[in-house]
Structure 1
């Protein structure tokens, strides 16, 4: 499901959630800035909870796996975080 636009105060914390059905090998988060192609942020392996970060990680972003939901947590939102965010899963 697509979430509406979110407007936040700089420095605030937010969580973007993605729910899914069935099982997945891994769950991924990407972002896409205006005029650019999507870029990988983080992924988590469902079975082990192992996290893989982008080559240039974003230390204020983390990923959490819950039952059939994967959250992208942004601890201190900045103007540079303005983007369209996507979640994707790799099925088993």
Structure 2
């Protein structure tokens, strides 16, 4: 998801697949707009059985940065945690939300949802290459 702020936040979703062909995670929309200070929810739906749901962000010219994950209901945050960011796994409709409590210009970037760890910094899993 991309969050671009020009008085409006613009979010563009991107996703990574799981290790098996039946596991796919897909953003709900290509872009999302919000005003600075708004609460923003980015959502992805998935298929298959999942062990962990991960959120990352990436600023232009920088590597992916782990934000937060839900693994069987246990939430793991980045170290140090990113303020104002939370995750909500909605098992009833196979989706995961990243919530940003008060969007700021610094939140304007690409956001990724993933079913597997993709970068170093996730303490629960071995490092795996991004799809």
Q: TM-score, normalised by structure 2?
A: 0.63
Deviation at 1:5, TM superposition (A): 2.9
> Which residue number in structure 1 is paired with residue 69 of structure 2?
43
> Which residue number in structure 1 is paired with residue 86 of structure 2?
62
* Uncovered stretches (5+) of structure 1, i.e. residues with no partner: none
Partners of 2:79 and 2:108 lie apart in 1 by 20
> Which residue number in structure 2 is paired with residue 15 of structure 1?
41
4+ residue segments displaced more than 6 Å: none
> Which residue number in structure 2 is paired with residue 5 of structure 1?
31
Partners of 2:57 and 2:65 lie apart in 1 by 5
> Which residue number in structure 1 is paired with residue 109 of structure 2?
83
> Equivalent residue of 1:58, what SS?
coil
Q: TM-score, normalised by structure 1?
A: 0.88
Q: Does 1:52 align with 2:76?
A: yes
> Number of paired residues?
88
Partners of 1:84 and 1:75 lie apart in 2 by 17
Deviation at 1:58, TM superposition (A): 1.5
Q: Does 1:24 align with 2:50?
A: yes
How large is the Cα RMSD of the aligned pairs? 1.2
- CA deviation vs aligned residue, 1:18-43 (integer Å, no higher than 9, x gap): 10001111110000011111100001
Deviation at 1:16, TM superposition (A): 0.3
Deviation at 1:59, TM superposition (A): 2.2
> Which residue number in structure 1 is paired with residue 128 of structure 2?
none
